[in-house]
Amino acid sequence: MNRRVVITGAAAITPIGRTEDRIMDNLLGGVSGVRPIRSDDLLARQVHCGVFGTVDEEIEYDFPRRNRKTMGPVSFYACQVATEALAQSGLTEDVLTSGRVGVAYGSTHGSPTVQRDLYLILGREGGLRRIGATDYLKSMVHTTAVNITRLFGITGRVISSGTACTTSAQAIGFGYEAIRFGRQEAMVCGGADEYDTTTVAVFDSLLACSTRWNDRPESTPRPFDVQRDGLVVGEGASALVLEELEHARRRGAQILAEVIGFGCSNNGGDMILPNAAGVRRTLLMGIEDARLSPDDVDLVSAHATATPMGDVVEARAIADVYGGSTPVLALKGYMGHTMGACGGIETVLLLHMMKRGVVTRSLNLDEVDPRCAMVNHVTQVAEMDLRVVSVQNFAFGGVNTCLMYRRFD
């Protein structure tokens, strides 16, 4: 069985907005969502990085108490984008509760805000007694996925990837495969991560964070730029409704794009250092899975976190696979690295650009690092006929993903 899979709903919460119009205005206007880090009583003053990709608009949630009580901040994000994407898809309650629809959704580590509170509680006298009945449900690694299933009564399979920066890319890929190979008719896929300074501390301690632009947050991160000095942690969420093509056609659903390939692999070695061979192999897997050649791809969305070595290795791998002419776009300059949410958010942004036939530029790429100059960076906003696009992401632990999408004409 090898069925075609299409996207019938898409939504995102990002540091540069939620609606298509606002996101596109900010992308085309070169507006960054990176802000000074908020003060807190734990780590904000200790970390060297002073910036964060921040969602600063108020979101009005409309979830009943029975659902809210098991949601940490990350699940509020996840359930909101799932609600919006499902509304766009038009899938009805009888389908969602039929067992033929599942959820593939994750986050980097559940809800760190709730986990932080738990650690503080456990350090106190009588700490065990103070743990709330819902604290685990709010903070467990699959909290986003099962809060979505509960909100909509979804009874199909649950896949909750928790592979840091490839979390949502894997969720989309595994959801795609669940439909493609006939196990489900539709899947709600994506990832979310909430505002949290412990994540900053993790990367800060590994010397991977940007620290030289604290007084100019909008100027960092700087993917592929000669002055880049590391990543910027961000927050956000995205959800895609994937659906089997004929299922979508029969009910007259609006089709946003087709998922045509997924490559996924592990470097099988170092947990942190980027690996050109692993990246290259994964990009080729994605292209082969889509039954295309590299020349068929109109735009590559790079992972490009703006670490000094990661960007060089990625640029080399892209050049090895695509040569030097395929346009390469780095979106993290606008939002920072939204961690487990990034592959899904980058997909939603590409869907908007694909629909409008326009590509934004890689923000903060003022002077291309000569070591990254072997590919065709998008440095100016340009009209572009986007038929096939690729989204690539990589994570600690040596996990690599490559998602392939085609415009649905």
Partner 1 sequence: MSRQTIHELLLDVFKTRFEIDNPGLDENLRETYDFDSIDAIELLSELETFLGRELTQDEKKQAMDIRTLRDIEEYVLRMQQT
Q: Could you list the residues that contact partner 1 (CB under 8 A)? A: 64-66, 69-70, 129, 132-134, 137
Instruction: Choose between 68 and 251: whose C-beta lies nearer to partner 1.
Output: 68
Smallest separation, CB 126 to partner 1 (Å): 8
Task: Give SS3 for 239.
Answer: strand
Q: In angstroms, how far is CA 214 from the centroid of its own chain?
A: 24
Residue with tokens 């596109």: 24
| Amino acid letter for position 164 | A
Instruction: Choose between 134 and 198: whose C-beta lies nearer to partner 1.
Output: 134
Residue 225's Cβ-count burial label (10 Å; 0-12, 13-18, 19+) is: buried
Helix (H) or strand (E) holding 193: strand 186-193
On whether the CB atoms of residues 150 and 173 are closer than 8 A, the answer is no
Smallest separation, CB 86 to partner 1 (Å): 22
Any catalytic annotation for residue 48? Answer: no
Instruction: Choose between 134 and 266: whose C-beta lies nearer to partner 1.
Output: 134
Could you say which of 109, 142, 337, 377 is catalytic?
337
CB neighbour burial string for 270-307, b if at least 16 within 10 angstroms, e if fewer: eeeebbeebbbbbbbbbbebbebebebbbbbbbbbbbb
What is the rounded end-to-end Cα distance, in angstroms, of the chain?
24
Smallest separation, CB 118 to partner 1 (Å): 15
Smallest separation, CB 128 to partner 1 (Å): 11
Measured distance CA(221)–CA(239) in Å, rounded: 24
The angle formed by the CA atoms of residues 374, 379 and 385, to the nearest 5 degrees, is 95
Smallest separation, CB 73 to partner 1 (Å): 19
Task: Give SS3 for 188.
Answer: strand
> Is the bond preceding 15 in cis, omega lying within 30 degrees of 0?
no
Any catalytic annotation for residue 142? Answer: no
Instruction: Choose between 140 and 178: whose C-beta lies nearer to partner 1.
Output: 140
Smallest separation, CB 150 to partner 1 (Å): 11
Q: Which residues contact 205 (CB under 8 A, 6 or more apart)?
A: none
Choose among 174, 164, 185, 392: nearest CA to 282: 392
Could you say which of 79, 165, 189, 342 is catalytic?
165
Task: Give SS3 for 325.
Answer: coil
Instruction: Choose between 132 and 269: whose C-beta lies nearer to partner 1.
Output: 132
Could you say which of 109, 247, 303, 377 is catalytic?
303
CB neighbour burial string for 197-217, b if at least 16 within 10 angstroms, e if fewer: bbbbbbbbeeebbbeebeeeb
Smallest separation, CB 66 to partner 1 (Å): 4
Instruction: Choose between 133 and 271: whose C-beta lies nearer to partner 1.
Output: 133
Instruction: Choose between 28 and 121: whose C-beta lies nearer to partner 1.
Output: 121
Task: Give SS3 for 121.
Answer: helix
- Residues marked active site are found at 165, 303, 337
